Structure 1
Amino acid sequence: MADKSLSVYKYMCKYVVGTENHIKTIRLMNTFTDNLSSNNIKVTITSGSFGEGLQMVGSDLDIMLVDTTIDVHDEIKSIVFNPTQTNFALMTEDIKAGFAMLRFISSPNPAIRKICEKFKGSNYLSNALFKKSFLSELCPVLHGPCISDKSGHLDFAHCLHSKYWVTSASQWTMRSNNSWPNESTKQMIIKYGVLFVPIGSKGSNNEDLEWRMSFSVGEKFLIYTFSHTQLLVMHS
């Protein structure tokens, strides 16, 4: 039985998850690459299984590109908006949980209004027009919230960021400190805030105006707390 378990372990390390050192190397490489390709208008985040440090056979490469010139705000009453930034307000009323609409507040960039659509007297950012604005010869394919290359090996998700935790997910912040994750990891996740990816709830009347909340950075923080054995079990 011990020999069989060892054989499975070696197989998983070689063909599925990778060794502990290999995973650490990929994570360090991702951090270096992300930092190198980020600048003052965008932040690059390698996500998906490769972002977790796993080189899964047949998986594509998922990259999130966060536009740092745009701010998404939840509680707007007490906020002084930065005039050099584009500002949107979060609207979640009568919208499926996990999704939101982004109401236009202000922008120094006149092109932003061109990718907004009128709804109930206000301008809202269209996820469809937002995605189409990034289509190129290199990535001409729309694929869910992403734009992809023709081979389907590269997926780029252009997304927006709220620097603060959203009210609709506040219940998670009140979890017991005695449970997983530990308090320091939880605070890291909360401090990062929330991303918004350009895709709406399937079948919604306002599908093209809705944005899905993404906690992929928080999920990565959680994955990083796993031991190598836990990663093996998760992907077995």
Structure 2
Amino acid sequence: MAKFSNVCILLLGFTIIMNFSSVLVAGLCVVAVVTCACEVWSFLAHYMKKKPQEMKNFIINTVIKLRRNRYESVLSNNDINYTRYDGVRSKITGAHIYAVGSYAETMPMSVCRDADRMVIYEQFPLVVRNQQRGNCLIAKENSHEPLYVLLKVLDHMGLDEECRSLINNDGYLESEGFLDFYIRRLMIEAHTDTPTIHGPSASFPGTTTFVDKGTGREFEVTVEFDMVFCLKCESWPGNCFDYFTRKRLNDWPSRGLLESIHGLPFHVVPIGHHLSSTKNIEWRYSFSIVEKQLILGMPEPYVKCMIVLKALRNNYIKYSDSEKPTPFCSYYIKTACFWMCESVPHDTYKNTVLISKVLDWLIDSYHKGKMRHYFIPQQNLIRHLSVKCRDDVRAKLTEVKKNLRLMVMTPTETELFQEWWNCN
């Protein structure tokens, strides 16, 4: 068949040179194309028959690689410099602002629904564990839900005059009132409309500016900014210090990475546990800045795995806004990838197998009704979900795993941004 194909190509060239009729040229072109197509099809059929799993992995890995490279050409640390200013940030004064979440973790825009900002006003008091001194809040940890704390106010005069009304009769700072107060303050400073509340955050419209390092070209993208008002902690919680010493099968996080995150800022955010009778005065520990650093130091296959799973969640595991808290959020995917990165050898699995392994971890967690928090394993992240709800999520995750090949290779509407980029 190969010899015949070569003969057709030679004949095609000869007819052009000799100015034969266009009909003959067209006919020979059709024969040559069909012959070559038959050869390719024969090769693929032969290869898939002999090595179906290798061919499947090759196709899916190639698609993932192409999509990842395409996203990186728009939004990677190597090619695009994310400038830290936006419509909301420029109007906030007297505050430290940290970019966290998927954007800051270099996730592609296809899996980012909003941009997260942690806001810590300079006059906020410091959260401490046991020191009795001045303008500080004492953190009282909850043995049943160790991710949550109560904040005892020592010095009422150390708070803003308006914030003093947020202290209840027992001397604890109210988380719900705190969020409402600073949302109103931001609305006045930034001249924004009433935001949408998502847990401990307030969602405002804004713009983010990107700069192409190669061309110097700037462009703005309109996004929703989730502003989370936080209080800074003096040190890590007492119930997660074994995180730095626990045994790990892999050398991840490395000793150097552990030392670097130990000194990063640490915060509490104004949100209580869903089942708590005192949730209006409860605060939750936030590891967002630490998680950002860990992802930046995570092996690439796990980052790719996280990207694919977040994209699959956005398109195939959806829940309505009325189901709060959501039965399956992107934070659970991040948690699963952190645990797997500790326990699965980094050179053992290819991308598709790794994705399946992470899905297995999630499916097993929902089956058992227990998902351990990465930094505080005593905290069960899905304890509040009913059996019926957990079974529904487990069924959807199982369906995703079953049809992983098809779902990964199916284009999504989130790629429209790349079309916008190419047209501008």
Flag the 1:97–1:28 CA change in 2: closer, same or farther, 3 A.
farther
Query: Which residue identity lines up with residue 112 of structure 1 in the other structure?
Result: C
Other-structure match for 1:149:
204
Name the Cα RMSD after superposition: 3.0
Partner SS state of residue 108, structure 2: coil
Other-structure match for 2:34:
none
The structure 2 residue matched to 1:217, chosen from 269, 272, 289, is 289
Other-structure match for 1:67:
121
The question of whether the paired residues in 1 share the 8 Å contact of 2:128 and 2:139 is answered with yes
Cα distance in 2 for partners of 1:66, 1:232 equals 32
The structure 2 residue matched to 1:111, chosen from 148, 154, 162, is 162
Cα distance in 2 for partners of 1:27, 1:68 equals 31
Spell out, residue by residue over 1:31-67, the C-alpha distance to the aligned partner (whole angstroms, 9 max, x if none).
x449x86998421111211111123326112111123
Cα distance in 2 for partners of 1:196, 1:147 equals 16
Cα distance in 2 for partners of 1:139, 1:167 equals 37
The structure 1 residue matched to 2:298, chosen from 202, 205, 226, is 226
Give how far 1:164 is off. 1.3
Deviating more after overlay: 151-160 vs 209-218: 151-160
Normalising by structure 2, we get a TM-score of 0.47
Flag the 1:92–1:108 CA change in 2: closer, same or farther, 3 A.
closer
Other-structure match for 1:168:
239
Number of corresponding residues: 222
Partner SS state of residue 153, structure 2: strand
Give identity over the alignment, percent: 21
Unmatched tracts of structure 2, length 5 or more: 1-54, 207-222, 309-424
Other-structure match for 1:6:
62
Flag the 1:171–1:41 CA change in 2: closer, same or farther, 3 A.
farther
Cα distance in 1 for partners of 2:245, 2:77 equals 31
Partner SS state of residue 138, structure 2: strand
Give how far 1:210 is off. 0.3
Cα distance in 2 for partners of 1:103, 1:181 equals 34
The question of whether the paired residues in 1 share the 8 Å contact of 2:75 and 2:109 is answered with no
Cα distance in 2 for partners of 1:55, 1:19 equals 7
Cα distance in 2 for partners of 1:140, 1:26 equals 33
Give the structure, 1 or 2, with the largest relative contact order (CA under 8 Å, sep 6 or more).
1
Cα distance in 2 for partners of 1:25, 1:229 equals 18
Partner SS state of residue 232, structure 1: helix
The question of whether the paired residues in 2 share the 8 Å contact of 1:88 and 1:105 is answered with yes
Does 1:199 pair with 2:271? yes
Cα distance in 2 for partners of 1:45, 1:65 equals 7
Matches within 5 A, 1:123-162: 123-133=171-181, 134-135=183-184, 136=187, 137-149=192-204, 153-162=224-233
Query: Which residue identity lines up with residue 7 of structure 1 in the other structure?
Result: V
Unmatched tracts of structure 1, length 5 or more: none
Other-structure match for 1:55:
108
Does 1:181 pair with 2:232? no
**Structure (1 or 2) with the greater strand fraction:** 1
Other-structure match for 2:356:
none
Give how far 1:185 is off. 1.5
Cα distance in 2 for partners of 1:95, 1:4 equals 43
Flag the 1:93–1:26 CA change in 2: closer, same or farther, 3 A.
farther
Cα distance in 1 for partners of 2:97, 2:114 equals 16
**Structure (1 or 2) with the greater helix fraction:** 2
The question of whether the paired residues in 1 share the 8 Å contact of 2:75 and 2:108 is answered with no
